[in-house]
């Protein structure tokens, strides 16, 4: 894959086409409008993108640079035989409806969680592939100050952990739940177990510290931070399947409590915050001999502890990402069928 600089954009042919939305209401009467945008440079799934800024140059102003682009790093991409793992770093600039490439990762990763913390982009954990398998869980953590800069090593996680919630809260990175190695073997997905572990990273000391564990060990959840607290939404366990549970973490008390569950049990979903509310998109489900992806999108109001349905995804998928920029949420990548079939390059903008 050709790597171009941050100002080099990948442009598709033609303008984005309407999906039949009028204003901010769909034909089914649910609030919200979806607009298809320029496809990603290639199909990719199992991604955790984040908001970032075009430049680290402070210029004449001391004010922080706005988070005006979204960035994805790594993921699973299809080929003729099985999935490949990519090291590509791509970014989308909504001002131009265009994609470009940043400095690639030091090594290919999938399920690498990106987190913007204090204006620096961090890449946490994930999985690597070699001749043994494609599910070797990593404890490695990276950081990037500029899209054309170098990925630097930071202190690794206390042990490998992935498919977790990774979020910035009060200037610290929190890693919650997901999967972790069950023992000394770390080659296949079956070598890992669901975990309730909860860590935070202090950049000033370059150290990880443990916090109150997640009440229910699970993986493939969505997460969000609103009003100074952290939400873990949905997900699944290997033994019991999908869950609709919502757990809320108060960092001042180092304590968890339950919030109102989601209307449906969804896993492999994505979430982002807009105007003080959490919006949750997609996911997948499995049942004997069958499975599928969710088109449903939901709004959670933290003040009311209440859920409501909003306009469904026009292109349902799981293993996707969701990033808020300005007054919209950008929903990208994923797969249109469970277990990775139909890997997608789609990018859609959701507005309320």
- The length of the chain in residues reads 352
**Phi, psi angle pair for 279, to nearest 5°:** -115, 135
With 70 as the cut, is the pLDDT of residue 64 above it?
no
- How big, in percent rounded to 5, are the helix, strand and coil portions of the chain? 0, 45, 55
With 70 as the cut, is the pLDDT of residue 33 above it?
yes
Q: 240-269 pLDDT, tens per residue?
A: 999 999 999 999 999 999 999 999 999 999
With 70 as the cut, is the pLDDT of residue 63 above it?
no
How much is the average pLDDT of 273-302?
A: 94
From the list 16, 9, 13, 149, the residue with the least C-alpha distance to 90 is 9
All domains in the chain, ordered by first residue: 28-351 (2.120.10.80)
User: What percent of the chain clears pLDDT 90, i.e. is strictly above it?
Assistant: 78
- Count CB atoms within 10 A of the CB of residue 115: 20
With 50 as the cut, is the pLDDT of residue 1 above it?
no
**Phi, psi angle pair for 176, to nearest 5°:** -130, 130
Say what the pTM is.
Answer: 0.91
């Amino acid at each position: 894959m050709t790597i171009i600089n941050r100002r080099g954009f990948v442009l598709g042919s033609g303008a984005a086409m309407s999906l039949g939305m009028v204003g901010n209401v769909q034909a089914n009467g649910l609030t919200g409008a979806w607009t298809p945008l320029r496809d990603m440079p290639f199909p990719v799934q199992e991604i955790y993108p984040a908001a970032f800024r075009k430049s680290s140059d402070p210029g004449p102003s001391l004010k922080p640079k706005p988070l005006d682009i979204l960035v994805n790093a790594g993921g699973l991409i299809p080929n003729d035989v099985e999935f490949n793992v990519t090291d590509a770093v791509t970014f989308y600039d909504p001002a131009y409806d265009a994609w470009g490439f940043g400095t690639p990762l030091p090594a290919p990763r999938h399920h690498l969680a990106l987190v913007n913390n204090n204006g620096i982009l961090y890449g946490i954990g994930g999985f690597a592939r070699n001749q043994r398998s494609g599910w070797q869980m990593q404890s490695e953590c990276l950081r990037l100050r500029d899209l054309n800069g170098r990925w630097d090593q930071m202190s690794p996680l206390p042990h490998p952990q992935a498919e977790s919630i990774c979020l910035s809260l009060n200037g610290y990175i929190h890693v919650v739940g997901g999967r972790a190695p069950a023992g000394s073997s770390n080659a296949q997905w079956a070598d890992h177990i669901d975990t309730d572990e909860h860590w935070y990273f202090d950049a000033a000391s370059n150290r990880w510290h443990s916090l109150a564990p997640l009440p229910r060990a699970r993986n493939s959840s969505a997460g969000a931070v609103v009003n100074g607290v952290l939400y873990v939404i949905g997900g699944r366990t290997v033994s019991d399947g999908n869950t609709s549970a919502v757990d809320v973490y108060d960092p001042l008390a180092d304590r968890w409590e339950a919030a109102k569950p989601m209307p449906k049990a969804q896993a492999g979903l994505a979430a982002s915050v807009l105007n003080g509310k959490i919006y949750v998109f997609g996911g997948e489900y499995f049942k004997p001999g069958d499975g599928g992806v969710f088109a449903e999108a939901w709004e959670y109001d933290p003040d009311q502890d209440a859920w409501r349905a909003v306009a469904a995804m026009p292109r349902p998928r799981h293993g996707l990402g969701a990033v808020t920029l300005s007054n919209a949420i950008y929903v990208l990548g994923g797969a249109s069928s469970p277990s990775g079939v139909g890997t997608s390059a789609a990018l859609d903008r959701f507005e309320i």
